[in-house]
Chain A
């Protein structure tokens, strides 16, 4: 038993290394087309490889990791680019998920039996942009009153916002049953692309594609889209303006940057990515409830951004993969290991996760304060490749 899972964890380690390698490669070298195609092929094969090596349940875990990547990249726009510390980011994920749940399930039949006797079942391609737009609207709603706030104060208000959304979802089952309260909404329509429901096994060219594989490809496409948009934003006029705001808001404003609109745009763009991810989550799960959107989730996504390397797309993706897979890895290692050593489970993997997590963050702050894969600028700021920094003060005063 223990030997088998140890083997599994070894294989898992290999897989994680490969995954990391793929992402790093894809984003650090644009010119090399061959590399790009190799990465694409590897990504397309990933669910099959994972399935063969680790089993079907791991494909599902990888699917969730993709959702986390989208979330982390969205938050990276707000925190990494514009420098607005958002501790309630998961609220946008929730808004997107409930948008999908309400417009793609029989649930609304309960609240409005006259209007929607069978509930609402809008097609995926309408629901998804709608979820993103509604979440974006909520982003502006959060952004507008907090425009004058910075740092800790902004963090506290956004934290409150995240909780308000969750509490609303928890309590909006009366007077009109809109969200079904803590029970959540179930029987959500599966995502269906071109008339093909992703919740069923498909046979294409004689290859069997189980549902989790199909969702993987869907998520991969959307993750690629978010990566693409993030990259374009980063190098655009808007991206540079965000960075200027992050560095010094007063100076940015004196440079002619419309700080108000650009901050709102950052909130909206981040929220849209979160909302889209939430809608995909709802379709994938078939069930949403408020407990998926706790403060801890917001903190987790923020940690993905910080751990991986704020402002750096490859870093953020790496951080998201790492933290999304960590609890699963622990579950597969810690329990069997304890069983083998002590004959029973002494420490619950969930509590061990928090311990390891806290330790990892402290170690990170001490040894890699800019994240595992820091952005170019952060790396330079911390003096890794900047010998000139030493001499400049001397030059100036002599």
Chain B
């Protein structure tokens, strides 16, 4: 669509960083009932960066996100966020620290209205006036949700539910937004809309970690990317490099 909009990424991806990244993961390992789902991965996200984590089904992408959100306990490794270690911090505390997750399958609160869903996103906040302005901001970002404020989220279409989940996550005023398979199960037109919104959010300076099976789409909006295969990161680099790489072409882009 508009590749020209993507700023040229620095090509130092994967290498140890001298700067001060927002999130830095070292040797992360997650074990599920004896099976090593994530086998020691390294990744980092700089402030204001949109990073894609791509890979096929079962590669360990969702598990990685869950470990970052604190929903599963890693078997080893370090997760440093804003300079501090996250290891012993519970999931709900991480949310309050600005790490927002839009879970796989969206996880909207089906029997609550859209407005209630969005307000749940601001659960850890207490600044009522600011919350109200943020709510209006979300309705401006997703006009379709504004039309359906008092409709139950469970009655929405998949794309609308994805919007609810994203708006809900943004209501927490995150500093790191993690999106798990936002394109899953959506009609092509809706996927384009959702990705246009992701691009808009990134343009505002949000740091985003985007997990996707749809590698082409993800790399089109991202600045950098990591390719994950059976629990390990096999490739990393700028989005343009990855889009052009033969391995990615063969494995994920059907080229």
Contacts and interface: CB of A to CB of B under 8 A. Distances in A.
Interface of A: 237, 240-241, 243-244, 246-248, 250-259, 377-378, 380-381, 386, 388-389, 392-393, 395-397
Contacts of A247: 108-112
Given A255-B123, A256-B96, A396-B159, A248 B154 contact: no
Interface stretch (B12-20, B37-45, B87-95, B203-211): B87-95
B52 interface: no
Interface string B149-184: 001101111111000010011001000000000000
Given A243-B112, A392-B155, 9 more contacts: A248-B108, A251-B103, A256-B123, A380-B152, A381-B152, A381-B155, A392-B156, A392-B160, A397-B157
B231 interface: no
B155 A253 contact: no
Contacts of B234: none
B157 A392 contact: yes
Contacts of A241: 120, 123
Given A392-B148, A395-B157, A251 B108 contact: yes
Nearest to B190: A396
Contact of A255 (B121, B157, B189): B121
B101 interface: yes
Contacts of B116: 240
A255 B108 contact: no
Contacts of A397: 157, 187, 189-190
A240 B92 CA distance: 15
Contacts of B160: 392, 396
Nearest to B165: A251
A378 B120 CA distance: 19
Interface of A is mostly: helix
Contact of B69 (A254, A258, A380, A393): A254
B58 interface: no
B170 to A, nearest CB: 12
16 contacts: A240-B119, A241-B123, A244-B120, A244-B123, A248-B103, A248-B110, A251-B107, A251-B108, A253-B71, A253-B95, A255-B124, A256-B93, A377-B112, A380-B152, A388-B151, A389-B152
B233 interface: no
Nearest to A311: B111
Given A256-B95, A257-B123, A392 B151 contact: yes
B151 A378 contact: no
Contacts of A257: 92, 120, 123
Given A255-B95, A257-B123, A258-B90, A250 B107 contact: yes
B232 interface: no
Given A258-B90, A388-B148, A389-B151, A251 B109 contact: yes
A250 B100 CA distance: 12
Of all A-B residue pairs in the complex, the 7 with the closest CB atoms, nearest first, are: A251-B107, A396-B157, A256-B95, A256-B124, A247-B109, A389-B155, A254-B101
B157 A248 contact: no
Contact of B111 (A255, A378, A389, A392): A378
A386 B92 contact: no
A251 B95 CA distance: 11
A250 B124 CA distance: 16
A247 B111 CA distance: 7
Contacts of A259: 92
A378 B110 CA distance: 11
Contacts of B90: 258
Given A248-B107, A254-B103, A396-B157, A377 B71 contact: no
Interface in B64-94: 69-71, 90-93
Interface in B102-141: 103, 107-112, 116, 119-121, 123-124
Contacts of A392: 148, 151, 155-157, 160
Nearest to A248: B107
A250 B102 CA distance: 10
B248 to A, nearest CB: 30
Contacts of B169: 254
A395 B154 CA distance: 15
B111 A377 contact: yes
A386 B123 CA distance: 27
B41 to A, nearest CB: 21
A305 B91 CA distance: 32
Contacts of A386: 151-152, 155
B66 to A, nearest CB: 8
Interface centre among B124, B155, B160, B189 (most CB of A within 10 A): B155
Contacts of A389: 151-152, 155
B191 to A, nearest CB: 11
A263 to B, nearest CB: 12
B29 to A, nearest CB: 21
A381 B71 contact: no
B158 A396 contact: yes
A254 B148 contact: no
Given A256-B95, A396-B160, A381 B120 contact: no
Contacts of B119: 240
Contacts of A243: 109, 111-112
